[in-house]
Structure 1
Amino acid sequence: MAPTPLKETDNKQPLLLGVDGGGTSCRARITDLDGNILGEGFAGSANPRTGLDLACNAIMQATREAMSKAGLEESDLGRIYAGLGLAGVNQQKERELVLGWGLPFASIFLETDAYAACMGAFNGNDGAILILGTGSCGASLINGEMKTLGGWGFPISDHGSGASLGLAAIRYSLLAHEGMKPETPLSRDIMATFDNMPENAVAWQDSALPRDYGSFGPLVVEHLSKGDPLAEQLIQESADDAAMMIRVLHQRGANQCALVGGLSEFVMPWLPEDVATIATLPKGDAMHGALLMAAKLLCRKRVAIPMQPFEHF
């Protein structure tokens, strides 16, 4: 969406900044108090647990890119009210480090990226989210109280995630290669990536990261569209894991659970009937949620943040 130019009379009005900062990327969006998007920016990792300076510099890089697109200058930083949804700030130590770093905003509302995602998914109302990306994590926001579920990392947790999907696909393919399971086009394609040599898979796993396991997800999805029985089995297992978490989030008081992340659109059609009516797609993204957080800093009824279409990343 093209930025809306500021009027000269608006150069002293407060502005809102929403930041969605994860372990891979940081996105920033600036709006005026009427919700007009003035500019957006992008930068690298903004998880303070992997480097405070790296994270805060990423926030500022994404913010300055958004400011540049909005026609703003450095002097405008002092009228920006920032909602920061960052990975890694669920610990008090990291929260204090970020707040003490010296970010040059008028005021800061700092919470986790899951909190911002919950806020955005239901436009500030109660609800839950289930993130199904390379990793997985559930979160609910009920009456202002945030609770998380799972997300303890791969391979011991992250059920229903892309990494877990990739691991299951490789495990089955090795069994099929040795005649212990029926081969399918998917299992043969997976083994072909290792030159049909289990020894190569063993060497690969010694340095493979969760994202490397998750890189097999597109191959599973490709074969799913062709009716491959292994792909269908794997997606059903992911859906069953997702349903397990959705049920608990529902028991905690969430009437709806928004599925977000790259796997969500493929998992949703495979959910069991008892959770299919609970699962939904988000109304807005985490930047939208972060802007709602920023608006709370002003406590003004006239602050209106229109929802933007949610995009999968």
Structure 2
Amino acid sequence: MSVERPLPAPSAAGPLVLGGDLGGTSTRIVIADSEGNVVGRGAAAGGNPTSHPASAAANFGQALHTALAGLDAAAVKSSVVGMAGSVALGRPDVAAQFEAAWSGAGLTVPPDYIGDLEVAFASGTPEPDGTVLIAGTGSNVGLVRNHQLLRTAGGHGWLLGDDGSGFWLGREAVRSVLQALDLREPLGLLGQAVVQAVLPDRGEHATPQREGYDALRDDLVRTVNSRPPVMLAELAPTVIAAYAQDDETAQALVKRAAELLMETVARLKTTSDKGPMVLAGSVAGESSPVGKLIRQHFAGEVLTARDGVGGATWLALGALDPALATNENHSRLVEH
């Protein structure tokens, strides 16, 4: 079990930097001094402004206030905030809510909002150039040059993209069940697990033979369509669990997910592009079979993203003074 160590006191005269990582499930803020020592932390619920901008902005403000408690907010001279769904800040009403949260915390330095791809890459390596692949609920690939995003592939959301993501795995799992029911075929291990996950009220022994093929199919369709589509990503662990038990359908889905993600990388990365590849997200993780297949495929250095908020804080140090973006400070911030 990890033990929380007390945060060192900031230098009285030195400037501070702020790093943020705003995702769909959590909002995290770190304050560090110019030597890379963390002097403040704050956390709250999800901060992705795409779906729920008001609550995301409120969570952002809460995390900022917690991180800055006992500190002089005006001493923060540089900030980098990584945000999933940052395109939503293009809406004036959403931007105003986040600005209110920022200024309400007493911060005077302008916030530098960047995408989660850049933060993920910086959390995995201090190298300036390389490639980053995020595969969690959604999926996205980015090419990074001099710590900045040069171009991307994918990342268009569940309706238009997210191939190989957790959402894709969940959707394809449900589709495989519906196909089996249409053809009056028995459900395999994955199919039974999907029915149990989507229709828990039917009990763990629900089968088309007992429930009726059409009735079970219609209930699945009705239930899935009554929920936010992105919730299909919650079935990704079900696919992974069935894969581990040698279910043929699950194994085919895992293999195809890895292929789709690798194809997305191939659309972006050329042979002249150098630097490590950083993998981030639960689907691309080291313990995920999808992530393992991706690591086996790519030659060269493949790294795993670490603490996103640490990566953002390290980038903020570099923005304050490029000389502070050292490998030592990188290790200190992302491996805490």
TM-score, normalised on structure 2? 0.78
**Secondary structure, aligned partner of 1:17:** strand
1:50/1:218 CA distance change after superposition, 3 Å: closer
Q: In the alignment, which of 164, 167, 184 is matched to residue 168 of structure 2?
A: 164
1:294/1:31 CA distance change after superposition, 3 Å: same
Q: Does 2:227 match 1:208? A: yes
* Deviations 1:259-286, CA, capped at 9 Å, x for gaps: 211111211222386x422572335332
Number of the residue aligned with 2:273? 253
CA distance in 1, matches of 2:50, 2:178: 36
Measured after TM superposition, the shift of residue 52 of structure 1 is 5.6
TM-score, normalised on structure 1? 0.84
Q: Does 2:74 match 1:78? A: yes
Measured after TM superposition, the shift of residue 226 of structure 1 is 1.6
CA distance in 1, matches of 2:9, 2:14: 10
**Secondary structure, aligned partner of 1:29:** strand
Number of the residue aligned with 2:210? none
Q: Does structure 2 retain, via aligned residues, the 8 Å contact 1:48–1:94? A: no
5+ residue gaps, structure 1: none
Q: Does structure 1 retain, via aligned residues, the 8 Å contact 2:130–2:145? A: yes
Number of the residue aligned with 1:5? 8
1:47/1:213 CA distance change after superposition, 3 Å: closer
Number of the residue aligned with 1:17? 18
One-letter amino acid of the structure 2 residue matched with residue 164 of structure 1: W
Number of the residue aligned with 1:234? 253
Measured after TM superposition, the shift of residue 240 of structure 1 is 0.6
Which range moves more in the overlay, 51-60 or 285-294? 51-60
Number of the residue aligned with 1:87? 84
**Secondary structure, aligned partner of 1:40:** strand
1:192/1:48 CA distance change after superposition, 3 Å: closer
Q: Does 2:291 match 1:293? A: no
Q: Does structure 2 retain, via aligned residues, the 8 Å contact 1:124–1:289? A: no
Number of the residue aligned with 1:281? 303
The percentage of aligned residue pairs carrying the same residue is 25
1:100/1:257 CA distance change after superposition, 3 Å: same
Q: Does structure 1 retain, via aligned residues, the 8 Å contact 2:190–2:249? A: yes
CA distance in 2, matches of 1:270, 1:125: 26
Measured after TM superposition, the shift of residue 42 of structure 1 is 1.1
Measured after TM superposition, the shift of residue 145 of structure 1 is 4.4
**Secondary structure, aligned partner of 1:281:** strand
| Counterpart mapping for 1:1-313 below 5 A | 1-6=4-9, 10-50=11-51, 54-68=55-69, 72-73=70-71, 76-80=72-76, 81-90=78-87, 93=90, 97=95, 101=100, 103=103, 104-107=106-109, 108-143=111-146, 144-179=148-183, 183-193=187-197, 194=199, 195=202, 196=207, 197-251=216-270, 253-265=273-285, 266=288, 267-271=290-294, 275-278=297-300, 280-299=302-321, 301-302=323-324, 304=326, 305-307=329-331, 308=333
5+ residue gaps, structure 2: 208-215
1:46/1:208 CA distance change after superposition, 3 Å: same
CA distance in 2, matches of 1:93, 1:233: 39
CA distance in 1, matches of 2:181, 2:49: 43
Q: Does structure 2 retain, via aligned residues, the 8 Å contact 1:19–1:59? A: no
Measured after TM superposition, the shift of residue 299 of structure 1 is 1.8
Measured after TM superposition, the shift of residue 56 of structure 1 is 4.0
One-letter amino acid of the structure 2 residue matched with residue 131 of structure 1: I
One-letter amino acid of the structure 2 residue matched with residue 259 of structure 1: L
